[in-house]
Amino acid sequence: MKVFIKNHDSNAGFWIYQGYKKAWEYLGFETLFYDSLNQLKNEENFYLMAMANDIKGDEELRILNKSHKTFLFVLPNYFPKHWGAHPNWVSTCPIEPEKINSLEKVIQWTFVDKCDFFYKWKNVQTIPLAFDDISYSFDDEINYNFDVCYIGGWANNGFDEKKKNILKHFSKLKDTNIKCGIFINRNITHEQEQKILSSSKICLNIHDDYQREFGLDTNERTFKSLGLNGILVSDEVLQIKKVCEDVKMSNDPEIYLNLIHNELSDPHISQRRIENRDNILKNHTYKNRVQELLNA
């Protein structure tokens, strides 16, 4: 059976849905990307991973009804404070959610933990991001090139929150003897990323302010760091605790630095590294997520 997935050609969405594509294929499905739902109007007997914002009228609703099952990614109807002005946290689906809520073949899902912000959507499943263990694998030849590492981008969410948080936390590392591999907007290759994350003693993570305040979702770097390395120091995001209780977290840059020092001197870090990687591989891969969708 075919699975059609909404095409994302840039940013985090590209890597996330590439991970989903490979997971579907691993489970034996033929997987293709689509740009417009109209491409699917002549298809029969297929699964569909669609975006609610693609549903613009009755024609798109008919395509959803034709599918074997549609996994529809939905966004909140509102988000509090200034974040509500950004389309990442406000549903821009042009038709009323009530029309979609009643469709039997549609499973509604989101990365975000269930909350009141989805008040118009019914029965939304929380399916967090995950580790792409098909594209990435742990490097057994460990040479600790860096004490700590971070690979990512400024990822401006419209309020430039992450850049501020990165500078505030990472500036504390400048006057230490900690050997740092910090790569921001450096176009690191897939192979380099895998090697750096696997062969550093500790991975670091930073989030946007809204993720810190509400704690409802975490970025893909959480899963990649734990899957390839096993030890992560992060700013504080509640959903991370549900993924791995072992992660040390603080939004205070001074405490964050102390957590790094504590981890580097922990005599039990090797065993914890193994346990945390095993947890991710067992419970938090895109193969797991596809199975969650199929079981929903």
- List, as one string, the DSSP characters of 211-276: HHHH-----HHHHHHHHHTS-EEE---HHHHHH-TT-EE-SSHHHHHHHHHHHHT-TTHHHHHHHH
**CA 206 to CA 183: how far, in whole Å?**
13
Q: By C-alpha distance, which of 254, 285, 296 is closest to 131?
A: 285
Which sign does the torsion angle of CA 258, 166, 85, 223 carry?
negative
State CA 282 to chain mean position distance. Answer: 17
Helical ranges in 50-184 per DSSP H: 58-66, 97-101, 161-170
State CA 25 to chain mean position distance. Answer: 19
Residues in the chain predicted with pLDDT less than 70, given as ranges, are 140-142
State CA 196 to chain mean position distance. Answer: 20
Query: What does the pLDDT read at residue 133?
Result: 97
Query: What does the pLDDT read at residue 90?
Result: 87
Which region holds residue 97: left if phi is over 0, alpha if psi is between -120 and 50, else beta? Answer: alpha
DSSP state of 114: P
Domains located in the chain, CATH noted? 2-127 (3.40.50), 146-283 (3.40.50.2000)
Residue in the structure block whose two tokens are 């033929």? 30
Query: What does the pLDDT read at residue 142?
Result: 65
Half-sphere exposure of 146 (CA within 13 A, CB side): 21
Tell me the CA distances in angstroms from 73 to 49, 54, 111, 172, 226, one per residue in order. Answer: 7, 10, 9, 38, 25
Structure tokens at 286: 């895109």
